[in-house]
Structures are given as C-alpha cells and as structure tokens.
Structure 1
Amino acid sequence: MTTRKNLSSFAIFAASVSGMIGSGWLLGPLSASQVAGPASILTWIIGGALISVVAFCFALLAKNLPTTGGTVRFFQISHGHFAGFCISWITWVAWAAVPTIEAFAVLQCSSSFIPHLWTKGASPHLTEFGIMFGICIVISMAMINIAGNKIFNKTNYIILILKFVIPVGTIFFLFFSHNEYNLTSNFTEFTPNGWQAVFSALPLAGIIYSFLGFNPAIELSKEVKDPMKAVPKALLLSLLFTTLLYTILQAAFIYALPNNSYANGWSHLTFSGVTAPIQGLLTLLGVTFFVKVLYLESVITPFGTGLVIGATTSRMTCAMSENGYIPKKLSHFNQKGTPVKSIVFNTIIAIIYLFTFSSWKSLVGLLVACLTLGYIVGPLALGLLTAQNKILFKVHHKKYIHALCTIALTICTLIVYWAGWNVVQKIGLLIISGYLILGIMCLLNRKKMGNLNIIKGSWILVYFLGLCIFSYLGTFGGMAIIPFGIDVVYISFFSIGIYLLSLKLSKIKLSEKVSKAQLQTI
C-alpha cells in the first residue's frame, strides 16, 4: 500500500470542516429543538467541547504515528486483533453508512422541487424513483473520489466556500428579518423537557453526528506533508469553527420560530415546510429569494460531506485490509494515489444501506452511537502507547496524558449511553456478528491473523457488557433503576476501571509495520 504526501494543512482543515458541516446544519436545528427546546443552543457547545477532548487524543496519535486509516490501525497496533477487530468492525460499518445518510439528506431537501422521491403519509419513505436517485448520488461521490486527490481537493474547496457563505447568510436572515415571528419570548422556558433532554439530544438529534466528521484529518494523516504540525492544528481549528457556526445557527433558528409552532410542546414543534426546516422557516419570514439559493445549498452541503467521508472511509477499508480483516486486494492504491477498489467496495455497501433504512432520522441515532464507540480507539491507544513509551512524552507530562485519556473514554461511553437502550442493544447485535466474522477470518486466514491476543483484549468484553447493563438499568430508554445524574458518576468510575484494566492486560509490542522513525518526542 503506497501513498503520496500531497495534502497541505489547509487541505485537511477543509476536509474536516466539510466533514462536519453536512446535513447536520440543515436538519439538526429542528431535531435538537424538538428534543431540548431552546436549551438546544447549549447542546452544540457541549457537543463541540466533548468531541474536542476526544479529537485531541487522536491529534496526538496522528502527529506521532501518521498512518492511513488511523482509527482502524491505532487499536490493532496497540491492543491486538481481538479488541482491534471489534472496534474496527463497528467503526467501518458506521462510516460506510455516512454517504447514505447524506444522500438521504439530499433527497429530503430536494423533495420540494423534485416530485415522487418520497411516499406520502406520516412516515414517508423512499419510492423506487427515490432509491434510484439516491444510488446516482452515492455513485457520483465515488466517481469524484476515484478521480484522485487533486480533483477531490478542488471540488472540496468550492463546496467549503458554499458551506461557509450560505450558512452565514442564513444566520443573518433568521436574526434580522424583522416581523411578528422574531420573538425573544421563544427563550423564556429554556429547558422545557428538562436537562436529561439536553444530553439525549447529543446523540439522537444529530449534534454529535455533525462533529464526528473531524476524522478526515486522522484518516488522511499519512498523506499530509507535515503531520506533526498540520494534523493537530487542522483538527482543533476545524472543531472551533464548526462549534461557533452551529451554536449561532441554533440560536437564530430558535429566535425566528413562530410562537404557535411549539404551542403543543417543543417535542411537537412544527410549521409550514417543516420537512426542509431551514428553507421552510425562511419562507415564513418572506426571504423567498434566498430560499432558492438554499435549496441548491441543501443539495451541495450533504453531498460534500458524503464526498469527504467517502474518501476517508476508503482509507479505513485499506487499513482493515492491511490488518487481514478483509481481502488484501482492497488496500491497493493506483498511480494517482487513490484506493479505487476500496471506494468501489464501500459504494456497494452504501447502496445496500439505501434499501435497508427509510430516512435520515431512522439512521442517525444508531450511526452516532457506533461512531462514538469507535472513537474509544483514541484515548485507549494513546494511553497504552504512552505507558509503554512507544510514544514518547516528558515524564511529568504523562500524568496529564492519562487524565486526558480517561476523560475522553468517559465522554465516549456517556454519549453511547445517552443514545438509549434501544440503540445500545442494536450495537450489541453488531458486536456479536463482528466476532462471528472474526472467527471465520481466523479459519480462512490463520497466517495473517496470527495471535489474536484474546487475554490481552478480553477487557473489551467487560466494557461492552458493562455498557449494556448501565443502559438497560438507566433512564435513557431503560428500566430507570439508576437515576439521572447518579448514572454519570457510575459510568465515570466504570470508564476509569476499564482504562486501568486495558493498561494492565494489553502489554503487547508495537506493530513492526510502524517504524521507529515515526515515534517522535513531544
């Protein structure tokens, strides 16, 4: 697997921003408002802060161990196959669905000017025509990625400009289109559904999903010219930028709502044109000329996110191939530095998702939980490699690294827990199916898989079992035996215990494929 270092710091900043500003800005404000009411403004700030902690773990890993498909490779390097495969499997399954969920967003926002995409009724789903249109969208994303990094960069830069200019314009018109709908009284009852709803909104309303798109800087780190400086800078700046944008947009959305739109409660928030909420609200405000531009943006924005995530997910597929989890041929790069076979393979999976799920909202909750669970790779891999001196930090800095890792692991665990028991039990089924696949791979490819490190990775089973128990007993769709507030304390201690257990059990050597030249002293 050969790669070219042809990406600049700005290129991966643009890729990360483009990965985070997708369908979330078009559909997230409505979903967040329905769950948390005006307090949804805080959900974006909380979400951005939480994900920034997790992202910083990945920044430290990627700057010291730049590798293609880092979120897959880091765990295999640090913890071996038994723990590594399960997380890789869940992560890949989730990221492969992102082009699909962005295609859903394109189709949903296009329904007002392209007829017959969706069925009519209380729970619309794609028609046969809609599915075919969605397939064309997914394939077009793949074709641009196959064309190579130069075409990808140019396309992404154009899309990024639109992703900045049009949301800023939207914020302006939502705040300053003065009429009877602009009411500061919308903020009077700030937490109508309680604080529990604020945290539920993080995974279920697309808040965390919007921020999880930071991963292009990680997956593409081996193709960056100066990863030591470029990766941390691109990650943190892109997260700061998107957090500010989403927070201000949510405040503008709440401010512009008609006061009768939530007369039956915020959970039943509705208004004319609610299927495309931003466009519908601007139409109520009389900004019809800008709505036409916004309909074009509603196609471009999610398409751009699907494009970027499609590129990064193909690198994850290459990493899984290198690990021996899927056929070796999928890790091949062509002369343009593009993993064509991986892109084609992922595109087929994305098309299958189109036939499996019915809408954006039906997929986002499970997707967020799976993606967040996959991000435990960052803190756990960083903590172990630091403890073993595989990544070298000054002695007095190590305690801060371990503190960072335990906080990040707790954050990931809480986000998955907040998704609710209905989602967590589905993840449990994915985990079981993943280990069945691992067993088959071991039978077919014993030489490549080698030692599974079952004992060293056994803590992962304790983690998943504990997570399921907490979710079942908790207040987020569970039995409500563990009260809200106390559950955070329990899960924090549980996460610390898992972190320490993983350090104790996972005493393995660094993969030989990671050269000593990649290990840098900070």
Structure 2
Amino acid sequence: MSNPNAATDGQLHRAVGFWGLMFLSLGSIIGSGWLLGALTTAVIAGPASLLSWLLAAVMLGVLALVHAELGAAYPISGGTARFPYFAFGPLVGFTAGWMSWLRSVMISPIEVEATLSYSDRIGWVHDRVHILHPNGTLTLAGLVIASCFMLLFTVVNILGVRLLSSTNSVTVVLKTAVPLLTVAVLMSLAFHGANFTAGGGFAPHGAHGVFAALPAGVVFAFLGFEQAIQLAGEARDPQRDVSRAVIVAMAIGTAVYLLLQIAFIAALEPSAVSHGWASPVGRGDFGPYATLATGLGAAWLAVVLYVDAVVSPAGTGLVYMAGAARLSYAMGRQRVLPAPVAAVGRRGVPVVSVLLAFVVGELAFLPFPSWQALVSVVTSAAAVMYAFAPVALHALRVRDSARPRPYRLPAGSVLAPAGFVFANLIFYWSGYQADWKLAAVVLFGLGVLALTRRGIPVGDRGVLRWRSAAWVWPWLGGLVVICRFGRYGGTRALPGWWDLLVVIAFSLAVHYTAVRLALPSDAVDTAVRGERS
C-alpha cells in the first residue's frame, strides 16, 4: 500500500484528519432523515418508533464496527467496493461496488429533493417560485434550482478534498446544533408523557410496526457512517483515525435521533394522537418540527428549521457526491468500470468520477417524484452494500490474519455473522417491491461489467474469480424469493416470526459458505499489495 503521506499528482492526496473524517460520517448521518424521520416512523409504529431507532442503532452499530476494522486495516478510498474485492475477487468487488455506487450517487439528488420539498411548504416560496407539481414532481423551476445545488456540489468536490472537508465541517456544526436546539425548545415548551401510551398503547401496531418503520426512514437516517472509510485513501493517519471517526459519528447520530423522536412524540397535542397515529401533525405536512414549533409559539425556531432544511440535506448531498466519486474511482482502478473514471486531476481529485456522479444525479431527478419514493429502494441497496462487509471481514481474518489491525472488532467471530444477518433483515423489511428492482439493477450492472471488459485486451482482463463469487447469486436470488413470500410487500405465505427465522437461517448458511469460498491467502496478499491509492 502507498505511503500515507503521499500527495503526488496523479494520486489521491492525504489531507484529512480525524475531525474531518468524523464530520464526513456525521454529516452524512444527519441529513434529511432528521427533518422527516420522526413523523414517518411515528405514523407507522406510534411511540414504539423509539424501539425502531434503538434496533436500527444496534444493527447498524455492529455494521459500523465491522467497517471500522476494515477501514483501519485497509485504508483505501472506496473501501466498500474494495474490501470484498480483496476477499473474493473482482466479480464480487464489482457487485458490492455497483450497489454502493448506486446507493451513494442517488442520495445527493434525494437530499436536494428533500430541501426543495421542505422549502415548497413555506408560503412565500411556494407563491413566488412554485417548485413542485401537485403530484410531488419537480417543476421546471424546481429542476433548475435542483441542478444549481448539484452543480455546487460538483464544484466543491472538484476543487479538492481539503475544501470538501472544511466546507462539510462548518455545515456539520450547524446540522448538529439545530436538532439539539429543537429538542431543548420542544421539551421545555411541552412534554406530554401520556402521548407515549396514546392512540392504542405504546406499540399500536405491534412488532410488525417496529420492523416496518425501519426501511421507512429509520435506517435511511443512519446511512452514511461509512463515508470516513470511503475517503480513507485521503486521510493523513488512516490507521489511527478512520475507526475512531466512524465510532464517534455513529454514537453522536444515535443520541441525536433518539432525543428527536422523544421530543417529537412528547410535544404533540394529545388530542391529535388520542385516536391513533395516522395524522399526528396534519395530513400532507412535510415539516413536522416547524409545525410543532409554530403551534407552541416558537415561530423563530420554525424559521431556523426552514434554514436548516436547506443546510442539512445540502451538506449531506455534498458528502455523498464525494463518496460516490470515490467508489467509481475504486472500480475504475479494479478495471471493472471504464478506465477514465479512475483518472485523478492535479488537485488529487477523481474529476471524471465526480462529473459522472453529477450526470447520474441529474437524471435521477426525472423519474422519481419525491423524497419518500426512493427511501425504501435506497435502504434496500444500502443493506446489500453493508452485507458484503461482515463476510469480507470474516474471510480476511482467516485469509489475511497477519495484517496489523489498529482496531479489532470485539467478538468478531460472532458479530461478523450477526452483521450479515442484520443487513439481510433490513433488506427483507425493505419490502419485495424495492428488492426485486434491485435484483434487476444487479443484472444491469453485470452488463456494464461485460461491456467494460470487452474494451480491455484479452491478456489484460484478469480473472473474475467465479468460484469465489459462487455464493453471491444464490444469496441475492434466495433473498428475493423469501421477500416474495414474506409479509412486507409479498404474498404473506410465510407466517409471522417464522419469516424472520427463515431469513436468519438462510443468512448464516450463506455467510459460512462464503467464508469457505474466499480467495486463498496468496491471492488476497497480491490484491492488497496491488493497491497504489
């Protein structure tokens, strides 16, 4: 691997310290999810939405710790694509990277749409600009404004990782302070303890409601902890800082989201939830905290929230464009995407990859009408992306055991399989309608891979390692079949709770099979030594 301090033209520049890395992860975690997640989850699960946040924090916390070990041991850019590559070869690395890239490249436009949807609820903005059509799609004016946001993200990313880190650090301070201020103000003005058992009790929809809330906004809100890992190739001291950055960001994000959900439920007017949670702040309301603040006489807080509705999602979109660019850069380095995406400019930035993220983000504005429309699909893609990490960690511990690990996951032999199970459960809870579409996207990605390899001379194509990838297709196909017969968008042929046991048993069988199929130690060592980030 490269010298950590390398900063020569043609390579990524190592210019980001601990705080920059931590803010990159935290800035991705605190985006549009905090503005919209509490309302969405309360409607689905009632007060038991608190359990949804706790469950998601535990599940994603394990996955974050898995990524922390991998990121510290293999400090390279685009890590979510490259860890599976080290363990299983180019075909698995491409599949993981393809899902990672699609997830990342679509979050920037999602965050922009959240900003515009929130802003359109401001009376004077709606009357003068008219950003959205009644069905939620962007108007021409909305598309122009959205494109300006995407162009701003692109310019900041191209100007260099140091400017990206500095810009993000400033916005994260505001993004963290405003939610905490919201919690303090709402709790000081109203705290109706009875709301936690109103409208049918603490869990009006039972465990099903708790699980169904996860893909509806809870898991989406936690996405992004791995951003410090995606930019590890640009960290000054990655072995020391990457794992700490991920862990600290995840801890802060969990605390903020739990406090926000408690404050939201407690501040509601009791009459609004006495008969159920279908409409706690009014139908069609897209700004729940601003509505509550105005109703409680804190109109000034509503103004702050509308300002933050621009800053928080925009800051997250900025970081995700950077992460998406590093992922396509990584796959270009592996020669599973066209070589130009791996080109690095004079500022040490993968310029072509940044521009590709801009173009795909622009296209994403056209077919998807709203923030809510993509949350389940993105959550499902994230589950697949995250699932590769615990399998890779377990395999690399076996096949690359001598490598120094500045951070080591406690009880890794237990938590690695558990992390794979958690990711598969999230995929299952995302619902069949989202999951089968992802299966189709994977097939499309394989077509992209085939075309890319056709452009490479036969002698330079390398080996795809089909044997080590043999577990991936039964895994993804089997999950889609289980979802088809499950209760989340499927036929409900699988009885409640038995469906979860099926997912768990299937996941464990795949996990241990995958570890046995990992590349031999010498092939892993060759792949790792081949890195020149």
1:352 paired residue number: 363
1:223-273: CA deviations, max 9, x gaps? 212222211111111101110010010010011112333456323444277
| Residue 211 of structure 2 corresponds to residue 199 of structure 1 | yes
C-alpha distance in structure 2 between counterparts of 1:437 and 1:75, whole Å: 19
Q: So what's the TM-score if we normalise by structure 2?
A: 0.91
What secondary structure sits across from 1:4 in the alignment?
Answer: coil
Taking the aligned partners of 1:136 and 1:51, their CA distance within structure 2 comes to 33
**In the aligned structure 1, how far is the partner of 2:187 from the partner of 2:410?**
46
Instruction: Quote the Cα distance in structure 1 between the aligned partners of 2:526 and 2:480.
Output: 35
Report the CA distance shift for 1:158/1:334 in structure 2 as closer, same or farther (over 3 A).
same
Q: Judge which range, 289-298 or 357-366, deviates more.
A: 289-298
What is the CA–CA distance in structure 1 between the aligned matches of 2:115 and 2:469, rounded to whole Å?
41
Q: Which of these residues, 106, 117, 121, is aligned with residue 115 of structure 2?
A: 106
Paired with 2:299 and 2:324, the residues of 1 have a C-alpha distance of 38
5 Å matches for 1:24-103? 24-103=33-112
Q: 1:385 aligns to what?
A: 396
Match of 1:512 in 2: 526
Unpaired runs of at least 5, structure 2:
1-9
Shift of 1:400: 3.3
CA deviations 1:94-137 (Å, max 9, x no partner) are 1100110000111011111422444454x432111111111111
Greater shift, 489-498 or 261-270, is seen at 261-270
Give the superposition deviation at 1:437: 2.3
Match of 1:373 among 373, 384, 387: 384
For 1:507, the aligned partner's letter is L
- Counterpart of 2:438? 427
| Aligned CA-pair RMSD | 2.1
TM-score under structure 1 length normalisation: 0.93
**Aligned pair partner of 1:186 in 170, 195, 199:** 195
Query: In the alignment, what sits opposite 2:418?
Result: 407
User: What's the CA shift for 1:399?
Assistant: 10
Distance 1:344 1:393, change over 3 A: closer
User: For each residue in 1:330-363, what CA deviation from the matched residue of structure 2 results, as whole angstroms up to 9, or x when unmatched?
Assistant: 2122232222221111100000001121000001
**Aligned residue for 2:260?**
249
* Offset from partner CA, 1:196-235 (integer Å, 9 cap, x none): 111111112x111111111111111122122222111111
Question: Does 1:290 pair with 2:301?
Answer: yes
Deviation at 1:516, TM superposition (A): 9.4
The answer (yes or no) to whether the contact 2:400–2:524 under 8 Å persists in 1 is no
Contact 1:420 1:478 in 2 (8 A): yes
**Could you tell which deviates more after superposition, 39-48 or 240-249?**
39-48
Report the Cα distance in structure 2 between the residues aligned to 1:330 and 1:86, rounded to whole angstroms.
17
Structure 1 window deviating more from structure 2 (70-79 vs 499-508): it is 499-508
**Counterpart amino acid of residue 394 in structure 2:** G
User: Does the 8 Å contact 1:64/1:391 carry over to 2?
Assistant: no
Residues 124 and 517 of structure 1, relative CA distance in 2, 3 Å threshold: closer
Give percent identity, aligned residues only: 28
C-alpha contact (below 8 Å) 1:187/1:254 kept by paired residues:
yes
Residue 312 of structure 1: SS of its match in structure 2? helix
Q: Deviations 1:3-61 (Å, cap 9, x if unpaired)?
A: 22211111101111101000000011111111111111121121111111011111111
Change (3 A) 1:478 1:2: same
Residue 324 of structure 1 contacts residue 448 of structure 1 at CA under 8 Å; is this kept in 2? no
1:497 aligned to 2:506?
no
- Provide closer, same or farther for how the CA distance between residues 391 and 333 of structure 1 changes in structure 2, counting only shifts above 3 A: farther
Assess, with a 3 A threshold, how the Cα gap between structure 1 residues 494 and 284 changes in structure 2: closer, same or farther. Answer: same
Return 409-418 or 495-504, whichever deviates more: 495-504
The C-alpha deviation readout for 1:127-162, integer Å capped at 9, x for no partner, is 111111111111111111112122222211210111
- Contact 2:13–2:234, Cα closer than 8 Å, also in 1: yes
Q: Following the alignment from structure 2 to structure 1, what is the Cα–Cα distance between the partners of residues 80 and 459?
A: 24
Q: Where does residue 8 of structure 1 map in the other structure? A: 17
Aligned residue for 1:476?
488
Q: Is the alpha carbon distance of 1:293 and 1:400 closer, same or farther for their aligned partners in structure 2, counting shifts above 3 Å?
A: closer
Q: Which amino acid aligns with 2:19?
A: F
Are the structure 2 counterparts of residues 170 and 448 from structure 1 closer, same or farther at C-alpha, using a change threshold of 3 Å?
farther
Q: Paired residue for 1:209? A: 220
Match of 1:137 in 2: 149
Pairing 1:176–2:185 present: no
Q: Deviations over 1:360-386 (max 9, x none)?
A: 000111001101211122111111111
How many pairs does the alignment contain? Answer: 511
Q: Secondary structure, in 3 states, of the residue corresponding to 2:271?
A: coil
**Contact 2:329/2:341 (<8 A) preserved:** yes
Distance 2:492 2:485 in 1: 6
Secondary structure of the residue aligned to 2:252 is helix
Find the aligned partners of 1:337 and 1:215 in 2 and give their Cα distance: 21
Code of the residue aligned with 2:48 in structure 1: it is: A
* In 1: Cα distance, 2:336 partner to 2:403 partner: 29
1:440-476 Cα offsets, whole Å, 9 max, x none, are 2232324443212122211101101210121111111
CA contact (8 A) 2:50 2:262 kept: yes
